[in-house]
Each structure stands twice: as C-alpha cells, then as structure tokens.
Amino acid sequence: MLMLLKLLKDGRFHSGEALGAALGVSRSAVWKQLQHLEAELNLPIHKVRGRGYQLATPLVFLDAAQISLGAAPLAWPVHIFDSIDSTNAEALRLVAANCAAPFVVVAEQQTAGRGRRGRKWISPFAQNVYYSLVLRIEGGLRQLEGLSLVVGLAVMQVLRELGVQGAALKWPNDVLVGCKKISGILLELVGDPADICHVVLGIGINVNMQKADEVDQQWTSMQLETGFPVDRNHLVARLGLQLQSYLDRHKIAGFAGLQEEWELHHLWQGKPVSLIAGASQIDGVVLGVDRQGALRLDVDGVEKIYSGGELSLRLRDDS
C-alpha cells in the first residue's frame, strides 16, 4: 500500500492501468488499495474518469539524507519509520539494544502515539512530525533539571523561525498559539539518573494537519497558522540544530541560565490558573518557574512550588 502512495505522492493524476503496471497488480487491486489508503491513512484521493487518481495534496516523505544535510554539522543518526507504535517506544527499544546515543527516531505515522498522563497523540500519516531524540546522561541529576522546559524553548524558536510567530510556552511542556496546542513534549528516562541513564526527548508537532476530528482539545498546525505547507525535512533539521544549541546552554549553566528566557515566553505568566493534581485542584496566580523548572504559584498570598509529571495546568476561566 505504501508503494502505491509513493507513486501518487507527486499530486498528479495517474491512471489505474499505469499504477497497476508499476505495482504488478490488476486495476481492481489498485482500487482496493486506494480505498485502504483513504480509510486507514485518512488521505483524500480524487478519482476522475478518464484521468485516473490523484492525491488531494502532494506528499513529501521524510528523508534521512535531506535531514542530515540540513542539520550539518550535527552527526546524529536518523532512524525513519513508515509506521510504528510511537517514536519514544522505538527509541527505548533501540536503547535496550545498545544503540549508541545520541540518535533520532522519526516516523511518518504513529499507531499508538502518546502524550503526558497517558493521553493519545493523534498521528496522521505524513502530515506532522513525530520525533524522539535519545541522549546519554552521565553523572548528575542537574543535567535533567528543567529539561522538558528547555526542549519547549527549542521547539518554540523553530516554529517562530518558520513563520508561526504566535508560538509560546505553557508549563510544563506544551507549545501553544493563543489557546490552541501546536506541539507537545514527553520525556522518558531509563537507567539510574544519579549515575548513567538515557533520556528520550519526545516531540510531536502539528505541521500540515488540517483536520482531526478525534482531537479532544483546541489545536492548530503550522500550515493552518502560516497558510502554506511546511517541508518536514527542513523542520526536523532545524529542530535538531535548535535542540543542540539549547542543550549546550543547559549543560553549561543548567536551567537557571534559561529561566528568565523561559518566563519571558510563558503564555500564562501572571495569569490566574488552576493546578490539577489527581482529584485535587489548587487555584493561584502564576509567578513563574524556579531554577529547577518547577512552577511558582501565588496561592492566597503565599508563594508555593509545584513539580511532577502528573500535574496539569489550566487557565482559571477555562471552560
């Protein structure tokens, strides 16, 4: 089925006879594959008698050579998959198989993409970026302090660089445009954080997605914000360079060296919010973050600090 998609990726009309000849199958088999493409990958296909079949929108597939060329002088190996459960899961499997870090895993589609707190991350085929960078961390918890916030800064800067000027941060690891989510970050760790461990920096970016009925929150994409499709290979290359820049700064100065910059771009700085922790809710006003990346809230006139992976932040007037 993916071979058929690669024949159609140019967005031009192709006759059923020509497609069948290229694939070595009958025209009826081509028709069945086209139906599967539409149903399983949610890719609209125009069917015109006498002209053939055409993808509604041309596709550009991820290409390791293009990514590496655009990300020079980075030397991170890039593993590309057509379809996997999730890039984070594959990254952890590669760590278990002793694949040397740093390396990157990207996919055209995830069948079980996930975000924080077990939420599903919608992953349509060849429309967005599903990206995991694996780092080896030696000798110190300090290198992990505020790391998800640092990744958020890198993602935000790439989005702005490529035309999404309204991109801003939401603690602890979302990138929003106004009230709409455009990117999410999920960090996973394996090993001993006090000695030697590996951390997976998982990043999902809505790139060229224009429709997703399954998403249960407000969202947007780069194409919806800019009005034009984005070259995902260029985006992945620029993301790698921005990540390297911010990770280098974090390694030298810790999160404390990026704290002020992060607060400057925090969309909810100074806003009344509710912090959800399980069944409990804490109301306060966002003061910022501390030197480790924890949230600082003014709760009834008293500054309190909150951190942890199971916390969720909402605007107080958020319905």
Residues of each annotated binding site: 86-88, 110, 114-116, 181
**The two three-digit tokens of residue 121, written as one number:** 């991350």
Closest among 195, 201, 57 to 126, alpha carbons compared: 57
Q: Which residues are annotated as a binding site for biotin?
A: 86-88, 110, 114-116, 181
314 is catalytic: yes
Q: Which of 9, 120, 314, 316 is catalytic?
A: 314
Instruction: Return d(Cα 146, Cα 187) in angstroms, integer.
Output: 11
Residue showing tokens 């999160």? 255
Ramachandran angles phi, psi of 221, nearest 5°: -140, 165
Instruction: Return d(Cα 200, Cα 291) in angstroms, integer.
Output: 22
Instruction: Return d(Cα 182, Cα 128) in angstroms, integer.
Output: 10
181 is catalytic: yes
**The two three-digit tokens of residue 158, written as one number:** 């790439």
Closest among 276, 273, 285, 286 to 312, alpha carbons compared: 276
27 is catalytic: no
What DSSP character marks residue 100? P
Do residues 128 and 204 lie in contact, with contact meaning Cβ atoms separated by under 8 Å?
A: yes
Q: Which of 9, 93, 116, 211 is catalytic?
A: 116
Closest among 101, 104, 106, 58 to 86, alpha carbons compared: 106
Q: Which of 170, 181, 232, 238 is catalytic?
A: 181
Radius of gyration of the chain (CA): 21
- Active site amino acids: 116, 181, 314
